[in-house]
Structure 1
Amino acid sequence: MITLVQGDITKMKVDAIVNAANSSLLGGGGVDGAIHRAGGPAILEECRQIRARQGGCETGEAVITTGGALPAKKVIHTVGPVWNGGQKGEPELLANCYRNSLQLAVDNGIKTIAFPNISTGIYHFPKPDAASIAIQEVQRFLANDNNLTEVLFVCFDDENYSLYKERL
């Protein structure tokens, strides 16, 4: 049900990959930029349509677009919290990213989904805490929902991979 992979999320052959997006939905650095580059202009076009409809995406929320040129059919964009010491609701906001992404996947008939390490790059969420929250939220969701057949955690770097392996 839960699989740990070290590699590039843009290469995953799953129904949906999750993008650690920013609230503008217009692409950025890190995994967000990599997904937009690999997926091509179709993803950005759908993100622009979402922005026109609802004005972006709030922290902890999630939206879905095509996967464009990616092996994944869909991209679920979620906006993780920027770490400000942990006293501004960051853990709960990060948990919401996972919960809302998983619910959006189920609502859209997705069976297999891959997550990056949300908020652990330029948003500086402490990697050990982020790994614990991610695993806990996915396990909790899967305990109450059997629509998803596989959830992958795709770690780009050695540190996150080790932290997830330890916790799983």
Structure 2
Amino acid sequence: MIELLKGDITKLEVDAIVNAANSSLLGGGGVDGAIHRAGGPAILEECQRIRAKQGGCMVGEAVITTGGNLPAKFVIHTVGPTWNGGKNNEEALLASAYRSSLALAVEHQLQSIAFPNISTGVYRFPKDRAAEIAIDTVKEFLNFSSAEIKVTFVCYDEENYWIYEELI
């Protein structure tokens, strides 16, 4: 049920890839920019509709859009926390980002989902702790859910890959 890959999340043929988005949902750097570039304008158009309806996406929550030109059918956009030394509930918010993404996958009856390393880039979350939270949260969700979802963790860089490999 859990798989680890090193590579480019935008190339995966899964039901949904998860975007480590910012709360504006308008694209950005890192994986967010890569997904918007590879997926084309349909993703941004849906994000703009979501913004008009609800004003963006709060930290720890998730929304779903088309996959546009991606091999994935959908993109689940989740907003991870910015690391501030662990003083602002960052660990619980990161776990919530994973749970919210998985809940949307179940709601839409998806069978496969791929996660990037949420919050470990410009949001500066410590990579080892972020990996522990990601794996623990996903395992806990899968254990308590009747849905069968294949979860893939996709690491773009070598450092995250080795951290995840050791933990899985």
Identify the TM-score tier after normalising by the shorter chain: over 0.9
| Matched ranges for 1:3-18 at <5 A | 3-18=3-18
Comparing 137-146 with 14-23, greater Cα deviation is found at 137-146
CA distance in 2, matches of 1:108, 1:136: 23
**Where does structure 2 lack aligned partners over 5 or more consecutive residues?**
none
Aligned to 1:127: 127
| Matched ranges for 1:30-49 at <5 A | 30-49=30-49
Aligned to 1:67: 67
Aligned to 1:52: 52
Aligned to 2:162: 162
Q: Counterpart of 1:149 in structure 2: which amino acid? A: I
CA distance in 1, matches of 2:105, 2:25: 18
Aligned-residue CA RMSD in angstroms? Answer: 0.5
> C-alpha displacement at 1:149, in angstroms?
3.1
**Where does structure 1 lack aligned partners over 5 or more consecutive residues?**
none
The number of residues matched between the two structures is: 168
> C-alpha displacement at 1:147, in angstroms?
1.6
**Secondary structure, counterpart of 1:132 in structure 2:** helix
The TM-score with structure 2 as length reference comes to 0.99
Aligned to 2:26: 26
Aligned to 2:95: 95
Q: Name segments (4+ residues, structure 1) moved above 2 Å.
A: none
> C-alpha displacement at 1:44, in angstroms?
0.1
Q: Counterpart of 2:94 in structure 1: which amino acid? A: L
CA distance in 1, matches of 2:64, 2:52: 14
Q: Counterpart of 2:99 in structure 1: which amino acid? A: R
The TM-score with structure 1 as length reference comes to 0.99
CA distance in 2, matches of 1:61, 1:144: 19
